[in-house]
Amino acid sequence: MTLEEARAGLKKLQAKLSAYNHATALIFYDGVTTAPKGVAENRAQTLSVLSEEMYLLTTGKETVELLTFLDEKKEELTEKEKRQVEILFKSIKDTQKIPMDEYVEYQRLLVEADDVWHTAKEESNFALFEPILEKIFETQKKFAAYTDPEKDSYDHWLNEYEDGLNKEICDRFFGTLRERLVPLIKKIGEKEQVSNDCLKGDFPFDKQEEFSYFLMKTIGLDLNKVGFGTTEHPFTISFGSHNDERITTHFHKEDLSYSMFSVIHEGGHALYDTHSAPDLAYTVLDGGVSMGIHESQSRFVENILGRSREFAYYIFPEVVKYFPEVGKYTEEDFYKAINRVEPSLIRTEADELTYSLHVMIRYEIEKKVMAGELKVHDIPSEWNRLYKEYLGVDVPDDKRGCLQDSHWSGGSVGYFPSYALGSAYGAQFLSKMMETVDVYGDLKKGDFTNINKWNEEHIWKYGSLYKPGKLLSMVFEGKEFDPEFYIEYLEKKYKAIYGIE
């Protein structure tokens, strides 16, 4: 094998992986958007075949030889190729440690889990989901032990979603947030509540859909490559490359803001994904690098930009065009309504300020289950206890409790902390961005050009070329990540809204 042949082989291998990713992502997407109800078994059958094919492709003798050869010649590779080999080799080494039949079986389990979770949530029936969730947690532990036998199994998964993350860092980060935010939320609770009447009414689905497309255009998405669908639990997905992306939302007829901010949030993910440098397409460097950085982008667009006073004032007359009944309110009513702080039951509907507490509860539960300190059977009671303790709310049923999120049924244990972490990254990005971009001036005009250009230049174009730690230190020009930016941003914004000194 010559170096040139190996390079061509590396390219071809990644093109194949992209194609399989396209196929499996689309099958998933179809399943949760437009597929009829009764076809989950067929989907499971296909995904189990395709995941076996991918397993054979990534762990096959030919691939291992190719990567070993390239790894030995790494000094002669470009920076991008070097990182591609590194990522592929890690994934192969990880995958090889998992017996193929267990890997394939797990893929099947997850398809079934999605189905069962949907029914369980609908019926608010945790008992139905419990045996499958138990298997998922067990498998997560087992796979972590196969891959990283030396490491704590929850630390393994935290690190998978955000390179470098572990329980110690999370405990410290969440500790700081709790210490500073809980008193602020308490003070807000003592003040007069702001009204969100302007977000309630009757908002027809077809108007909400038109408005969604308007929002997608406004935040700068290229509608030629970003599609739109509706589903139960909104998400964003790439079909094999950053040139084919879909966002999804869920419409509530009586609530304007849920889908509006869901579209902006998912749009933030899609902005990140679709702006990988063109030459990263069909390689493992295509698309966002980690869940934390991904959530930093989505929550940046959703909250820091989308819920700013300037954007609220810009978008309000547009909102009225689609939903004339909102015209009886003012811009300021609208701004306050979309920033109303109210401890509540549902994470995805939580306001910007209490959001982290929802994440913290999931983190505490995952940590305990993975450590064997909490049984899956006892998740509902622990969930309800923590919601009472942190947020002061009573959980009336599991549908609005521990069955609300799709993450666990999708096998994503260790993912949640990245939401809170991402929010905190975003506030620090803002402070850097404002050194050169008139962020709030642009938001007044609904102009995302310079904001997006800054993000593209500093974050998006790199795809997965740099690990999150390296990327952050590049953006922050050597400074460390510091949650203080986030806390100060929140304190300033919400003290003003609620008139707290």
Of 395, 450, 400, 458, nearest to 425 (Cα)? 458
Environment class of residue 304 by beta-carbon count within 10 Å: exposed (0-12), middle (13-18) or buried (19+)? buried
Of 142, 153, 146, nearest to 370 (Cα)? 153
Q: What is the C-alpha separation between 87 and 78, in angstroms, rounded?
A: 14
Asked if 26 interacts with its own copies (CB under 8 A), we say: yes
Q: What is the C-alpha separation between 108 and 121, in angstroms, rounded?
A: 20
User: Site for its own copies (CB under 8 A): which residue of 7, 11, 35, 163?
Assistant: 35
Asked if 225 interacts with its own copies (CB under 8 A), we say: yes
Angle, helices 417-433/291-299, rounded to nearest 10 degrees = 60
Q: Where are the beta strands (DSSP E) in 166-235?
A: 226-230
Residue (30 or 138) nearer to its own copies, CB: 30
Asked if 8 interacts with its own copies (CB under 8 A), we say: no
Stretch that binds its own copies, among 107-115, 221-229, 418-426, 461-469 (CB under 8 A): 221-229
Tokens of 11: 């390219």
Asked if 36 interacts with its own copies (CB under 8 A), we say: yes
Tokens of 129: 């989901």
CB atoms within 10 A of CB 16: 16
Environment class of residue 20 by beta-carbon count within 10 Å: exposed (0-12), middle (13-18) or buried (19+)? middle
Residue (37 or 499) nearer to its own copies, CB: 37
User: Site for its own copies (CB under 8 A): which residue of 112, 148, 152, 222?
Assistant: 222
User: Site for its own copies (CB under 8 A): which residue of 7, 11, 19, 112?
Assistant: 19
Asked if 226 interacts with its own copies (CB under 8 A), we say: yes
Stretch that binds its own copies, among 30-38, 192-200, 314-322, 374-382 (CB under 8 A): 30-38
Asked if 423 interacts with its own copies (CB under 8 A), we say: no
Stretch that binds its own copies, among 224-232, 357-365, 450-458, 475-483 (CB under 8 A): 224-232
Q: How far apart are the first and last CA of the chain?
A: 70
Site string for its own copies, 46-85 (x = CB under 8 A): x--xx--x--------------------------------
Stretch that binds its own copies, among 22-30, 288-296, 300-308, 337-345 (CB under 8 A): 22-30
Residue 236's SS3 state is strand
Asked if 277 interacts with its own copies (CB under 8 A), we say: no
In sequence order, what are the residues at sequence separation of 6 or more whose Cβ sits closer than 8 angstroms to the Cβ of residue 260?
211, 212, 215
| Nearest distance from C-beta of residue 250 to its own copies, angstroms | 16
From edge to edge, which strands make up the β-sheet containing 245-249? 226-230, 245-249, 236-238
Q: For this structure, is 266 an active site residue?
A: yes
| Nearest distance from C-beta of residue 217 to its own copies, angstroms | 12
Tokens of 97: 């440690």
Distances (CA, A) of 130 to 103, 111, 115, 311, 411: 21, 15, 13, 43, 14
Q: What is the C-alpha separation between 22 and 461, in angstroms, rounded?
A: 21
User: Site for its own copies (CB under 8 A): which residue of 164, 227, 446, 469?
Assistant: 227
Beta-bridge mates of residue 252: 255
| Nearest distance from C-beta of residue 379 to its own copies, angstroms | 31
User: Site for its own copies (CB under 8 A): which residue of 7, 11, 27, 128?
Assistant: 27
Residue (153 or 241) nearer to its own copies, CB: 241
Count the site residues for its own copies by CB under 8 A. Answer: 38
Asked if 274 interacts with its own copies (CB under 8 A), we say: no
Asked if 127 interacts with its own copies (CB under 8 A), we say: no
| Nearest distance from C-beta of residue 289 to its own copies, angstroms | 21
Stretch that binds its own copies, among 29-37, 88-96, 130-138, 424-432 (CB under 8 A): 29-37
User: Site for its own copies (CB under 8 A): which residue of 224, 478, 480, 499?
Assistant: 224
DSSP string for residues in 287-347: S-S-HHHHHHHHHIIIIIITTSHHHHHHHHHHHHHH-GGGGGS-HHHHHHHTT-----S-G
Helix (H) or strand (E) holding 288: none
> Taking CB under 8 A as the criterion, which residues in 154-213 touch its own copies?
206
Distances (CA, A) of 138 to 74, 134, 339: 38, 6, 39
| Nearest distance from C-beta of residue 302 to its own copies, angstroms | 22
Stretch that binds its own copies, among 45-53, 162-170, 319-327, 387-395 (CB under 8 A): 45-53
Q: What is the C-alpha separation between 175 and 182, in angstroms, rounded?
A: 11
Write down the catalytic residue from 81, 160, 162, 266: 266
Residue (21 or 423) nearer to its own copies, CB: 21
- What b/e readout covers 141-177, taking b as 16+ CB neighbours within 10 angstroms? bebbebbbeeebbbbbbbbbbbbebebebbeebbeeb
Residues making contact with its own copies (CB under 8 A): 15-16, 18-19, 22-23, 26-27, 30, 33-39, 41-43, 45-46, 49-50, 53, 206, 222-227, 229, 239-241, 243-244, 282
Catalytic site positions = 266
